[in-house]
A = this chain, B = another copy of it.
């Protein structure tokens, strides 16, 4: 029986993707944490810093003793012993007493501010002149001023950047719980496909998709699992997909662009455990013959065999799906589209979301997006491109000079 073929809009496809469940979590040491997604909320159990610190080389004083000080009328201070880095000073600061303190040093009891060394002069071993007044708290970071005990500093689903890794280090979180890197299986199908180290016979071409897709998977922070080439053979494809689902968290089947091969992909997917083909076709160009479904509780994508189409569908649909199962909170994601003006008119069919490859050209009046000419299926057009311009399904085209947002690729 022929399955029911439902074509999705890009919006419907993305809504479906948001329902995919996340993978499990694992602990990871802080040096490996950058790029991973937090699987726990982080609440600080300490104040950072947990002692008042100087932010300058200078003298710790009571600010009140400096009021009115100037070059003409310096304030005199009696020197106590100096503060040493990394040690709690055993000093008490009174009015008109001062202690030499390095940047990062712990403020001695009784002091409330630091006079920069540039605004002082040593008179003798026991006396320093101060030429400027300082205010309470000046050149000091107070207890908990960076992070307060009990602060909810990071939430589950946050991507750990270097600064978040640094923050975790400051909190003493030397191991963080993160989502596992999703394992994404790639099966490349087609009777015409040979591996890159083979010489294609007439009518054959080398496998591009395995390499382009594994690169995209790596860029998305996931782990590509290369499952190799499969002929257009239903049994072989079904068996490979079943194996793949055991080993992976998501499955990409690329190829099957011809009508017969497309049917194989649907049939192979349909015969898997708990298979559900959600969408057969997406109104996206390039990339219409895309299949979205689930099997054994895991997302499966049938991607076009053409490398350019497969890459565009990856960027628009598979990447959000990997981020979804990888635990990334979509609310925390930043808009990375670059505004640029179109260098020429672009036409588009209504009812279809188009992605046009463009080169970014910096000019004196800002960035311009120049559409790449050439037939849409050619890989060199992706190599020449810096990004994609989206033309939404309600638009018939974009005019020269129109302000667009470029998705970097």
Q: Smallest distance from the beta carbon of A337 to chain B beta carbons, Å? A: 9
Q: Are B170 and A49 in contact (CB under 8 A)?
A: no
The distance in angstroms between the C-alpha atoms of A167 and B360, with both chains bound, is 20
- Asked if B196 and A162 sit within 8 Å, CB to CB, the answer is no
Q: How many residues of A contact B (CB 8 A)?
A: 104
A154 to B379, CA, bound (A): 13
Interface contact A203-B311, CB-CB below 8 Å: no
Known: A163-B409, A339-B366, A383-B163. A378 touches B145 (CB 8 A): yes
A306 and B48 alpha carbons, distance in the complex (Å): 14
| With A35-B218, A141-B377, A197-B174: A382-B86 Cβ-Cβ less than 8 Å | no
Residues B205 and A170 in contact, CB atoms below 8 Å apart: yes
Binds B, one of A71-79, A127-135, A255-263, A343-351: A255-263
Residue numbers in B under 8 Å from A216 (CB-CB): 34, 162
User: Which of A145, A193, A258 is the most central at the interface, judged by chain B CB atoms within 10 Å of its CB?
Assistant: A258
- The residue that A169 contacts in the complex, of B50, B212, B366, B383, with Cβ under 8 A, is B212
A208: contacting residue among B106, B169, B334, B336, CB under 8 A: B169
Contacts of A206 in B (CB 8 A): 169-172
With a cutoff of 8 Å between Cβ atoms, the chain B residues found around residue A35 in the complex are 215, 218-219
CB nearest to A175 among chain B residues: B197
Residues of B within 8 A of A205 (CB): 49, 53, 104, 170
| CA distance in complex: A191, B86 (Å) | 5
How does the 8 Å CB contact mask read for A281-324 relative to B, with 1 for contact and 0 for none? Answer: 00000000000000000000000011100010000000000000
Flag if B192 contacts A172 (CB, 8 Å). Answer: no
Contact of A31 among B85, B192, B226, B360 (CB under 8 A): B226
Answer yes or no: A270 CB below 8 A from chain B CBs: no
- A162 near B213: Cβ-Cβ < 8 Å: yes
Q: Is A269 an interface position by the 8 A CB rule?
A: no
Give Cα A409–Cα B163 distance, bound, in whole angstroms: 9
The contact string, 1 if C-beta is below 8 Å from chain B, for chain A 154-178, is 1000001111111111111110000
Q: A34-B219, A162-B215 are in contact. Are A232 and B85 (CB under 8 A)?
A: yes
A88 CA to B86 CA, complexed, in Å: 77
Q: Is the CB of B258 within 8 A of A102?
A: yes
Contact B55 A375 (CB under 8 A): yes
**B33/A170 in contact, CB under 8 A:** no
Residues of B within 8 A of A190 (CB): 85-86, 104
User: Given the known A-B contacts A145-B375, A203-B51, A258-B85, are A208 and B103 also in contact in the complex, defined by CB atoms under 8 Å?
Assistant: no
Chain B's closest residue to A117 (CB) is B259
B57 touches A259 (CB 8 A): yes
Q: How far is the CA of A335 from the CA of B305 in the complex (A)?
A: 32
Residue A362 at the chain B interface, CB threshold 8 Å: yes
The complex places the Cα of A141 from the Cα of B379 at a distance, in Å, of 12
Q: Which residue of B lies closest to A387 (CB)?
A: B334
State which residues 360-409 of A face B: CB under 8 Å.
Answer: 360, 362, 366-367, 375, 377-380, 382-383, 385-386, 408-409
In the complex, whether A200 has a CB less than 8 A from a CB of chain B is yes
Q: Is the CB of A161 within 8 A of B34?
A: no
Q: Given A196-B30, A214-B34, is A360 in contact with B334 using a C-beta cutoff of 8 Å?
A: yes
- Across the A-B interface, give the 5 residue pairs with the lowest CB-CB distance, nearest first: A162-B215, A34-B215, A102-B258, A166-B212, A86-B192
Residues on A facing B (Cβ under 8 Å):
30-31, 33-35, 48-51, 53, 55, 57, 84-89, 102-106, 117, 141, 145-147, 153-154, 160-174, 190-193, 195-197, 199-216, 218-219, 224, 226, 232, 257-261, 305-307, 311, 334-336, 338-339, 360, 362, 366-367, 375, 377-380, 382-383, 385-386, 408-409
